[in-house]
Structure formats: C-alpha cells, structure tokens
Structure 1
Amino acid sequence: MTRDRRVDLLLLGVAVVWGSSYLAAKVLLDVVGVLPLLALRYAGAAVALAAVVAVTRARVGREELRCGVLLGLSQAAILALETYGVAGTSATNAGLLISLTILLTPGFEGIVRRSWLPPAFFAAALVAVVGVALLVSASGGRLVFRVPNHGDLLVLAAAVVRAGHVTAIGRVTRTRDLDLRGLTFVQTALGAALFTVLDPGGVSRAVAHASPGQWAGIAYLALGCSVFAFLAQSWAVHRTSAARASLLLGTEPLFAVLVGVLLGGELLGPLGALGAVLILAGTAWGQRVERLARVRTAVPEPPPGPHPVVAADGPRPTSGRA
C-alpha cells in the first residue's frame, strides 16, 4: 500500500469516527449539556494522552506548548461554534455550511503556500458540497432553506475556523520539529481547562450524576473522537496537503448519515442517496486532481517527522465534534 493510500485511509478513519460522534453526542447533550460534555470529553482525552506521553517519554517542550495552545484554541473554537450553531439551525443548513470547509481550505492553503490547485479541484469540491446539501436534507426529501439566523452564522464561523485550523496544522508540523503526542496533549489539556472554567457547576453535576452508559459515551468521544482523531489528523496532514485532507474529512456527513441509517433507524431517500454518490464522486475526483497537481509541480512530499505517531501509537472528533 502506497503512503498516499495509507494517509487517505487514516483521514477517512477520522471522518468515520467524527461522523459516528453525532449519534453518541445527541444522547449525551440532552442530559449533560454542551460545555460540561466538551469539558469531560477533553479531560478524558488529556488523561489518556498524559499516560501516552509518560510511557513513550514524548516531548512537551516550548514548541509543543506554543503551537499546542494555538491549535488547541482553534480546535476548541470549532467544537463550541459548531455545537451551539447546530442547536440553532436546521440540519440541512448546518451540513451545507460546515462542508464549505472543503472549498475554504484550498484557498487558505493557496495564500499560505502561494501556490494554487487547478480549477478542477474546486469543481470537485463543489460537487462534494452539493452532495452534502442533498444528503443532509430531511430524509432525502425536498431541500428547504430559510433566512440565515444566528445558528447559521455560528456554523459558518466554525467552517472558516476549521479551514484555518487544518491549514495551520499542515504548516506548523512541516516547519517545526514537533512531537505530535506532546502537541496533542497540550491541545486537549487546554480544552479541558477552558471548558471546565466556563461551566464548573455543570461539570460537577455531570460527574456526580452520569450513568455508566453516559460515561461510556463520554469515553468514546474522548478516546475515539478526540485522542485518535487529533493525533491522526496531525500525522496525516503532515504527509499530504491541507486541501486533500479537508476533502477527505469532508466525507464526515456521509458517515454520520450511514450511522444514523444503520444504528439509528433513520431512512435515506432518493435525494439523500444521490447526495452520497456525489460526495464519493467529488472526493475521488478531487483526490486525483490534487495528486496529479503535486506530481506536476514536483513538490517533494514532506518527510516523516522526528517523532512520527502512527495509528497504533495512540487512539483517534471536531468540527469536529460534540
């Protein structure tokens, strides 16, 4: 298996886990609340990563602290904006707006690198966005959009921050000698402290009254959707372009719907099925365009970092996810 293929599969793994997080979070949010859930999710991830750092003697130095704070703040902002935004808008609008990350990230990366992908990539990304719009429509029914409200604006802000976050991950992991385990630990510890400070009473009540099933859901969000996802995303973006990573992570709504259909008993209508096909087609097309563009420009792929972290080294959500 080629390195490109391994990276793609890992990023798709992130999309699968993040997509499945919606069903887990939906049950928890009604009884725990947004800020307590985010605080406990981050705290669980921080504890797990502290153990990884201790056992593997990972480095948590000045660079990991500085970059970890920056990336931790942006990741926390994505989760908070997206969670509060989804609560105030329709699923159709939220899914379409957050998927704009697929189009925004190549623009951000082009500005940073001063090199642009061909128009065909943006066309492929647009196909995927249209697919998301169809997929997240109510049971595949008629698409209905309303006048944008505060929820729509929050989700749009989350899409902008996520595009910048993915671009920043690619830049800092390529230009600095960073230990990704230490970097991710700093991000999760910061998120745990931040969300706990914002609602200490809610966190205390959640800890005191959570049932075993709720703790299992929190553990899944912490270990799967945070530890594994953050580590895998940083490792993979270091080895590909931010645009390609964003395109693959943009398949998240597809997996969210599949989990809902298979485990939640939801139905996928004709328009939803067409949307799924368009997401897969747009993603495959965009991957090919990005790969050929990289070969044509003869840009050497970044070498593995000094402290590579593979999926087996640690667990693997954003926009994200709560």
Structure 2
Amino acid sequence: MPSSATAAPPAPPLSLRLSDAALLLVALLWGTSYGVAKGALVYYPVLGFLAVRFGLTFALLLPALLRASAPQRRAALRSGLPLGLLLASIFACETFGLAHTQASNAALLISLCVVFTPPAEWVLLARRPSAAVWACTGVSLLGAALLSGGVPGAWSVGDALILAAAMLRAVQVCCTSRLAQRTPAPALALTAVQAGVIAVAAAALAWALPGTLPPLPGHSAFWWATLYLVLGCTVFAFVVQNWALRHSPPTRVGLLMGSEPAWGAMFAVLWLGESLSVQGWMGAGLIVAAAFWTLRQRPAG
C-alpha cells in the first residue's frame, strides 16, 4: 500500500462530541416546545405563563445556587442578571409571537438565529464571518419572507416578534459565551439566576398591566405542558447551553441547533394539526438548508 495516503483528520475531543450530542437533543426539545407552549397559552396569558414557567424553574434550581460558594454566587449574579434580562426580552418576544402565529412558523423563523449569530459574533466578539455566511443570511431571509407570506411588510405581528427574538438570541449566544468563559459560576447556579430574573420581570410587568394575571388555571393540560417546558426545555436546555458554550464557539453552538426548525414544524403538524402552504414549505427548506450550509462553511472552532 502506498504510504502517501491522506491521513484521517484527528477526532474531535470527547468534550466537543458530548457538547454536540447534548445540543442536538436540546434542538429536538426546543423544536417541540413551540407546539407545547402554544397549547399552554390556551389556558393562561403570556406574561403569567412566563412567570409560572420560570418561577418553577428558579425554585427547582435554588438549592444549586445556595450550595455554591460565595464567590461563585457573586459570579452567577454578575453574569446572570444581565443575561436574564436579555433572556426575558427573548422569551417575551417568542411567546407573544407564538400567540399570534403558527407554532410551525415560530419554530422555523426562530432558526434564523443560526445565521444571525455569525454577524453578531463579528460585532460583539470581533470574529468576522465569511462571504459564504453572508450569502446564507440572505437566503435565510428570503426563506423567512416566503414562509411568512411574501414581503416583510405583509408579515403578521407574531412573525415579526419571532424574528426579533431570533436576532436577540444571536446576541444572547455571544454574550453568554463571553460571560460564561470568564465566570467561575456553575452552570446550574447561573441558570437559576437567569430563571429568577425572567420570572420577576414577567410577574412585575403582568402586575403593572391590569387584567394580565388572572388566577392560576386548574386544567391539567396546562400544568403538564408547563412541567415539560420547565424540566426539558428550560432546566436541561439552559444548563446544557451554558455548559456547551465553555467548550464550543458561539457559532458552532448556534449551527448545531439548526435542526430545531425541522423538529418544530414536524411536531406542530403532527401535534397541533397545522399546515404550511407550498410557498411556506419552500421558505422552510431555504431556512434549514442555509443553516446547514452555514455549518459546513464555518470552521469548527
């Protein structure tokens, strides 16, 4: 056998492989979250739902925050307070948007975070994206226009809010990466602070707006949906993302979750009986294709 054969590239480190696998599972869970959350919103308004969801999350994670050392708690507060406010804005846009559009639309439009992350990384972390990434961004925006029925001016309020959430998500990924790599706070403690900030912000806004915080619903469907979102889509997902951003660059984290819209659209069609037009499926295809093409173009970090 000739000895000049090209050597196989070295395998990625175990921490990176574990990070990739965990993030793909998060993508699946987050994909289903749109349909589940839309079902919960039938029983309770947006701000009250967010206060309940993240209040329960904070209660579950409070022991981890209390067990942390004093320096770790201070670090969790320094990073968690600004990140929590950013996440509160993201979830407000996402959830209000979800109340005014299809769950399948929400899952697909939020995936634009994948292509918004490289430009955000350039602005916030001084890492310039390639020309191919800019091209993919244009393709994704075209897909979003097709998915939402045409030109941006014709988009629904819900679609526009989901698009805003996707932009904020890109900023959040970069900010979390920068802060998580500089802070000694454990992932659970950091997630606890973030959840507490979201819960307080949602409850405060709900109390400030009369009629937006009725008595808690007694429907079991609401509580089962909330439990699924708290345990799977919030506690597990936030902890994994905070941990993964210590081992992977922000763009890789964003891109590895590019399967989220496919899971979300599939779940919305099967669970909620939603449907997309031919034009909508074309737009969805462009968004997903651009996400995975961007993954191939970007270095692994």
Fold similarity call, TM over 0.5: yes
| CA distances 1:73-102 after superposition (whole Å, capped 9, x unpaired) | 000110112222344567797667544422
Q: Give 2:35's aligned residue.
A: 23
Cα separation, partners in 2 of 1:25 and 1:217, compared to 1, 3 Å: same
Cα separation, partners in 2 of 1:259 and 1:163, compared to 1, 3 Å: same
Amino acid at match of 2:115: L
Percent identical pairs in the alignment equals 37
Cα separation, partners in 2 of 1:147 and 1:262, compared to 1, 3 Å: closer
Is 2:107–2:264's contact at 8 Å kept on the other side of the alignment? no
Q: Give 2:245's aligned residue.
A: 237
How far off its partner does 1:210 sit? 2.1
Aligned equivalent of 1:147, options 147, 151, 154: 154
Separation (CA, whole Å) in 2 of partners of 1:269 and 1:9: 32
Q: Give 1:301's aligned residue.
A: none
| CA distances 1:10-31 after superposition (whole Å, capped 9, x unpaired) | 2222222122112211122122
Q: Which consecutive unaligned segments of at least 5 residues does structure 2 have?
A: 1-10
Is 1:68–1:184's contact at 8 Å kept on the other side of the alignment? yes
Separation (CA, whole Å) in 2 of partners of 1:111 and 1:203: 38
Structure 2 residue 210 is matched with structure 1 residue 210: no
Aligned equivalent of 2:171, options 151, 155, 164: 164
Separation (CA, whole Å) in 1 of partners of 2:254 and 2:107: 15
Higher Cα Rg, which structure: 2
Separation (CA, whole Å) in 1 of partners of 2:219 and 2:16: 42
Amino acid at match of 1:210: G
Cα separation, partners in 2 of 1:176 and 1:288, compared to 1, 3 Å: same
Structure 2 residue 231 is matched with structure 1 residue 223: yes
Q: Give 1:85's aligned residue.
A: 97
How far off its partner does 1:205 sit? 0.1
Q: Give 1:104's aligned residue.
A: 116
Is 1:44–1:223's contact at 8 Å kept on the other side of the alignment? no
Separation (CA, whole Å) in 2 of partners of 1:89 and 1:267: 12
Q: Please show how residues 286-301 of structure 1 align to structure 2 within 5 Å.
A: 286-291=294-299, 294=301
Structure 2 residue 205 is matched with structure 1 residue 198: yes
Amino acid at match of 2:133: F
Separation (CA, whole Å) in 2 of partners of 1:238 and 1:230: 13
Scaled by the length of structure 2, what TM-score is found? Answer: 0.79
How far off its partner does 1:248 sit? 3.1
Higher alpha-carbon deviation: 80-89 or 90-99:
90-99
| CA distances 1:104-130 after superposition (whole Å, capped 9, x unpaired) | 221121123323132223334555555
Is 1:132–1:253's contact at 8 Å kept on the other side of the alignment? no
Q: Give 2:4's aligned residue.
A: none
Aligned equivalent of 1:178, options 173, 185, 190: 185
Q: Give 1:316's aligned residue.
A: none
Q: Give 2:51's aligned residue.
A: 39
Separation (CA, whole Å) in 1 of partners of 2:287 and 2:97: 23
Is 1:95–1:132's contact at 8 Å kept on the other side of the alignment? no
Cα separation, partners in 2 of 1:95 and 1:215, compared to 1, 3 Å: closer
Q: Give 1:58's aligned residue.
A: 68
Separation (CA, whole Å) in 1 of partners of 2:17 and 2:296: 12
Structure 2 residue matching 1:31: 3-state secondary structure: coil
Matched residue pairs, number?
284
Is 2:111–2:287's contact at 8 Å kept on the other side of the alignment? no
Q: What is the Cα-based RMSD across aligned positions, in Å?
A: 3.1
Structure 2 residue matching 1:105: 3-state secondary structure: helix
Q: Which consecutive unaligned segments of at least 5 residues does structure 1 have?
A: 295-322
Cα separation, partners in 2 of 1:7 and 1:131, compared to 1, 3 Å: farther
How far off its partner does 1:287 sit? 2.3
Scaled by the length of structure 1, what TM-score is found? Answer: 0.75
Amino acid at match of 2:164: A
Cα separation, partners in 2 of 1:23 and 1:85, compared to 1, 3 Å: closer
How far off its partner does 1:276 sit? 5.6
Cα separation, partners in 2 of 1:144 and 1:117, compared to 1, 3 Å: closer
Amino acid at match of 1:111: V
Separation (CA, whole Å) in 2 of partners of 1:205 and 1:219: 18
